[in-house]
Amino acid sequence: MKVVISGYYGFDNAGDEAVLAAILAGLRRECPTVHPVVLSGNPARTAARHGVEAVPRLSLAAVRRALREADLFVSGGGTLLQDLTGWGSVPYYGGLMLLAHRLGVPVFAWAQGIGPLRRPALRRMAGRALAAAVEVTVRDQASAALARELGVDPRRIHLVADPVFALAGQAPAAAALGSEEPPAGDGLAEAAARLLSALPDGPLVGVSLRLLPGERPATVEQRFFADTATRDLAACLARWGARALPLPLHPPQDGPPLDRLVAVLGPLAVPWPAGVEPADLSPADWLALFRRLDLVLTMRLHGLIFAACAGVPFVAVGSDPKLAAHVAELGLPRAPFLIERPGLGEALEAVWAERQRWRAAIVAGALRLRERAQATARRALAVTRGAAA
C-alpha cells in the first residue's frame, strides 16, 4: 500500500518532524507493509531520518509520478490551510489535495489545524480543497468549526488530536505516566546524550521563542524584551534558584530571539550546548530534553505539545489561536496557562507554585489526546480500504 504524505517536512522544524514521525509510526503500526512517500524540502535528509521514500515537494513531475501509483494521499498534519504566512500556503497544500482528487487518489486530511483564513479567495480555495477529501480530521474544535464554515459536510469532519500527542506517555517516563511503550525516534540518541550531559544541575525553565510570519528580530525584541516580560522571567528565575534554557525548535526563526534572551538574562540562562545541532535531535530526543525541564515558557505550539507529552507544566505566550485551542483541548484553564498581555510574572508564579498538581492534570489531558491521535491512522487506512473495495 503506497501512501503519499504532504506537509511542512524537510525544513528542520522539530514540531513538523515530530508530526511526520508520529504519522509514520501510526501507519506502520496499523499496516506494517505500508510504503510511505513523503513530499519534502530536503528529500535526502527526510529519507535518511524517517526511513521513507522522499521526493522534492516543488517538483510537479515527481509529485505526479508519486500520486499516480498511490493508494492514499495524506495532507497533514500541522497548520497547512492558513494565510497567516502569506498567499502561498493554501494554493500549495490545497492544490495538492485537488490534484490528488483529480488523479483519482483518495484524499485524507490528517489532524489539520485550519486557519486563520482572512482572504476571501483563499477561504474559497481552502473550502474546495477540503471538499475533495474523503474525510477531514482536525486537531481542535476551532478547526472543526472553521471547516464547517468553509462548507465541509459536518458528517465528514472528525475531531482527533495533533499527531505528536501519540508520543505522550512513552519511555523513559513510562513509570510516571503509566505506560510501557518504547520511545519513538530515529536513533540519534548520541546527540541527546551530549545535550543532557551538558546541562547543569538544578531547576531549568525551557524557553521557546520564535519570529512570527513577517517579523524581524527587532519586532520580537520590542514585544518581548522592551516591556516587563524579561524582567518578570528573570525575577522568577532568581527566586526559584532556576536557570533558563533556550529551545530552538526551528533555528532559523527561533535563533535571533533566543540569542537575545540568553544575552539579556546573563548568568540566569544556560546557553545551548556547543556541538549539538538542534536539527540532529529526533522527537524522542526532544521529549527526553523536555522531561529534564521543570517548566516551559513557549510561543510555539509544539513547545506546548512537547511539554504536555513530557508531563511538564507550561505557560504559553501570544495570541496565536493554536495556543488557546490546545490549552482548551488539554482541559486546562486559559489562565494561567496562556498569556496574551502583560502579566507573565503572575502566570509563571501561579504555575510554578502548583506545578505538581498541574503536572497530574497535564499528564491526564495528554494521555486522553494520545488516544484520539492514535485513532487517526485507523481512520486513514479505512478510507483507503473503502475506496479500494
Same structural domain, 199 and 135: no
Residue 171 is predicted with a pLDDT of 52
**What is the Cα–Cα distance from 117 to 81, expressed in whole angstroms?**
8
Q: Where are the beta strands (DSSP E) in the chain?
A: 2-6, 35-40, 53-56, 72-78, 107-112, 135-138, 157-159, 204-208, 243-246, 295-298, 314-317, 338-339
Q: Which domain holds residue 257?
A: 189-369
8 A C-beta contact, residue 362 and residue 332 = yes
Q: State what percent of residues in the chain have pLDDT above 90.
A: 77
- Given a contact cutoff of 8 angstroms between Cβ atoms, the answer to whether 263 and 248 are in contact is no
Tell whether the model's pLDDT for residue 334 goes beyond 80.
yes
What integer is the mean pLDDT of 365-378? 96
Residue at 75 is within a domain: yes
182 located within any domain: no
Instruction: Tell me how crowded residue 384 is: count the other CB atoms within 10 A of its CB.
Output: 23
Instruction: Assign 333 to helix, strand or coil.
Output: coil
Task: Return d(Cα 147, Cα 141) in angstroms, integer.
Answer: 10
**SS3 of residue 138 by DSSP:** strand
**Given phi > 0 = left and psi -120 to 50 = alpha, else beta, which region is 212?**
beta
Domain of 239, CATH number, reads 3.40.50.2000
Residues 338-363, mean pLDDT to the nearest whole number: 93
Does the structure show a pLDDT above 80 at 268? yes
Judge whether 375 lies within some domain. no
- How does pLDDT run across 85-115, given as a tens digit for each residue? 888 999 999 999 999 999 999 999 999 999 9
pLDDT for 15 beyond 60: yes
196 and 313 both lie in a single domain: yes
Q: What percent of the chain has pLDDT over 70?
A: 89
What is the rounded CA–CA span in Å between residue 201 and residue 46? 35
Residue 316: which of 168, 209, 165, 211 has the closest Cα?
209
Burial category of 180 from C-beta neighbours within 10 Å (exposed 0-12, middle 13-18, buried 19 and up): exposed
Global pTM value: 0.92
Q: Is 198 found in the same domain as 150?
A: no
Whether 254 shows a pLDDT value over 80: the answer reads yes
142 with 205, same domain: the answer is no
* 256/221 Cα distance (integer angstroms): 9
Among residues 159, 179, 212, the one where a domain terminates is 159
**What is the pLDDT of the chain when averaged over all its residues?**
90
- Looking at the fold, whether 128 and 229 belong to one and the same domain comes out as no
* 142 and 211 fall within a common domain: no
Q: Residue 379 falls within a domain, yes or no?
A: no
In Å, what is the CA distance from 304 to each residue of 40, 325, 377?
Answer: 25, 11, 23
Question: Does 123 share its domain with 258?
Answer: no
pLDDT band at 204 (very low <50, low <70, confident <90, very high): very high
Round the CA-based radius of gyration of the chain to a whole number and report it: 20
Confirm whether 347 is domain-assigned: yes
